[in-house]
Amino acid sequence: MDISVPLFLELGAVLVALSLASSVARRWGLSPVPLYLLAGLALGEGGVAPVPAAGAFIGTGAAIGMVLLLLLLGLEFSPAEFSQSLRLHLPSSVLDAVLNALPGAAAGLLLGLDWRGALALAGITWISSSGIVARLINDLGRLGNRETPSVLSLLVLEDIAMAVYLPLLGAAVVGSTLGRTTFTLATALLAVAVALFASRRLREPINRILDTGDSEQFLLRILGLTLLVAGAAEAAHASAAVGAFLVGLALSGQLAQRTRVAMEPLRDLFSLVFFLAIGLTIDPRNLVPILPAAAALAAVTALTKTAVGFYAAGRDGVARRGRLRAGTVLIPRGEFSVVIAGLAAGAAPGLVPFAAAYVIILAVAGPVVTYAAGRMPTPVWAGGTRNGAEA
């Protein structure tokens, strides 16, 4: 077996550096996610220490990291609870689309993009990063919080909406026929419906197939099934994240607990690679000229996303502090926004660096804001009093 010396050296150095960054962040009680993103920015093309030999491994590991993040999040809920939450949050999802897509579309037109570029920027500002939000909820110890089901419902509804949006955007960019676009849409929606049905109605057979006393067999079965479902969902133009989440939802009882124990170390390792990869896709040299406009749009859409989370958690009867946490944790944009920019690059070349600046601002600022929102006194506008108590 040939060993790639550059790959081992680069990967080893990157992991040691990230370990140090994580230690610093945790010493201060912070999530290390922003540091991972900034490290990716420094290590990518145009950064201070590029790692070209490790690029292919990081790209593959990043996709696995996102899948594992959503798998373990799905373990926290039952299908009945989740279906009820999805039905409750359809109005929240509509508000999410209106408040967050419109600023992107308007900014696109103001920046001189054509309608296809404006449509792409609407999607970029609309969708939160499932991977970053999932990791933040875990890092900040909010899995059991009352606002968390509202946040997860919004994330899954956004991903399902992407199953409609992405084929439409792709058709607009390449000028696809109506028939082909309709077929792609129908395939994506059918894939989501099948996955939802399996997580609700085939839960017991799935649990029996996966349950085994052999630890190696158990790990292989869980990981294999998750990657198969995520890959099939992605191939059908639905989201791999939704597929992985629904696999987690289908596991129950002792099996869910065994999965959590077996998968957590893998999730932590590959999710780190996922955040690193987002930074690696961005060339920092392209960011400087468009930073002011990107920062202005980021500020506007951070506020609109906070308003949506505040409203959604309110529908679940969450108190105002929890509603504020729900809003701020949704601020980060990430992997999907990068994908949308890449998809529209042919029709709007100027969109890619702008989207990169926008994503890196919110991917770094979002975790800091939600961390602060969980510790600061409830502001007066959110129902707090002047002495910091909640009204």
Nearest by Cα to 310 from 362, 370, 365, 361: 370
Does the pLDDT of residue 169 top 70, yes or no? yes
pLDDT for the residue numbered 377? 65
Beta-strand runs (E) in the chain: none
The whole-number average pLDDT for the span 79-101 is: 86
196 Rama sector, left if φ>0, alpha if ψ -120 to 50, beta otherwise: alpha
What is the residue whose two structure tokens read 């009204």?
Answer: 391
Residues 69, 271 contacting (CB under 8 angstroms): yes
Look at residue 199 and tell me whether its pLDDT is greater than 80: no
- Evaluate if residue 219 carries a pLDDT over 80: yes
Q: Are 39 and 276 in contact (CB under 8 A)?
A: yes
318 in Cβ contact with 378 (< 8 Å): no
The pLDDT assigned to 362 comes to: 93
* 171 vs 162: CA distance, rounded Å: 14
Q: Is the pLDDT of residue 151 over 70?
A: yes
Task: Map residue 343 onto helix, strand or coil.
Answer: helix
Q: Which of 68-72, 113-117, 250-254 has the lowest mean pLDDT?
A: 250-254
- The Cα-based distances of 120 to 23, 192, 228, 278, 327 in angstroms read 38, 23, 29, 19, 23
- 25: nearest Cα among 329, 305, 368, 262: 368
Residue of 111 and 206 predicted with greater confidence? 111
**Residue 379 DSSP one-character state:** P
> Per-residue pLDDT averaged across 37-59, rounded?
81
If 0-12 CB within 10 Å is exposed, 13-18 middle and 19+ buried, where does residue 16 land? exposed
What is the pLDDT averaged over residues 262-273?
88
In the chain, the percentage of residues whose pLDDT exceeds 90 is 24
Q: Which amino acid is at 293?
A: A
Name the pLDDT band for 391 (thresholds 50, 70, 90).
Answer: very low
Q: Which residue has the higher pLDDT, 123 or 378?
A: 123
Q: Let me know if domain 27-375 sits in CATH 1.10.287.110.
A: no
Quote the pTM value: 0.78
Contact 83, 77 (CB under 8 A): no
Q: Count Cα atoms within 13 angstroms, Cβ side, for 172.
A: 19
Q: How far apart are CA 302 and CA 41, in angstroms?
A: 22
Question: Alpha-carbon distance 344 to 224, whole Å?
Answer: 32
Of the two residues 235 and 228, the one the predictor is more confident about is 228
Of 358 and 277, more confident = 358
Which of helix, strand or coil describes residue 21? helix
**Model pLDDT, residue 124:** 94
φ, ψ for residue 145 (rounded to 5)?
Answer: -70, 150
Q: Does residue 47 surpass a pLDDT of 60?
A: yes
What residue spans define the domains of the chain?
27-375
Query: Which 8-state DSSP code applies to residue 380?
Result: G
Of all residues in the chain, the percent with pLDDT exceeding 70 is 93
Residues ≥6 apart with Cβ < 8 Å to 11: 51, 54, 57
Q: What is the mean pLDDT of the chain?
A: 84
Q: Print burial letters for 83-112: b (CB count within 10 Å at least 16), e (below 16).
A: bebbeebeebbebbbebbbebbbbbbeebe
Nearest CA to 122 among 287, 291, 306, 344? 344
Tens-digit pLDDT profile for residues 93-137: 999 999 999 999 999 999 998 888 999 999 999 999 888 898 889
Dihedral of CA 236/237/243/246: which sign? negative
Q: How many residues are recorded in the chain?
A: 391
- Res 35 pLDDT > 80: yes
Least confident of 65-79, 87-101, 132-146, 310-324: 65-79
Please report, as a single letter, which amino acid is at residue 51.
V
Return the pLDDT at 303.
96
3-state helix, strand, coil in the chain (%, to 5): 80, 0, 20
Is residue 365 over pLDDT 50? yes
More confident residue, 294 or 381: 294
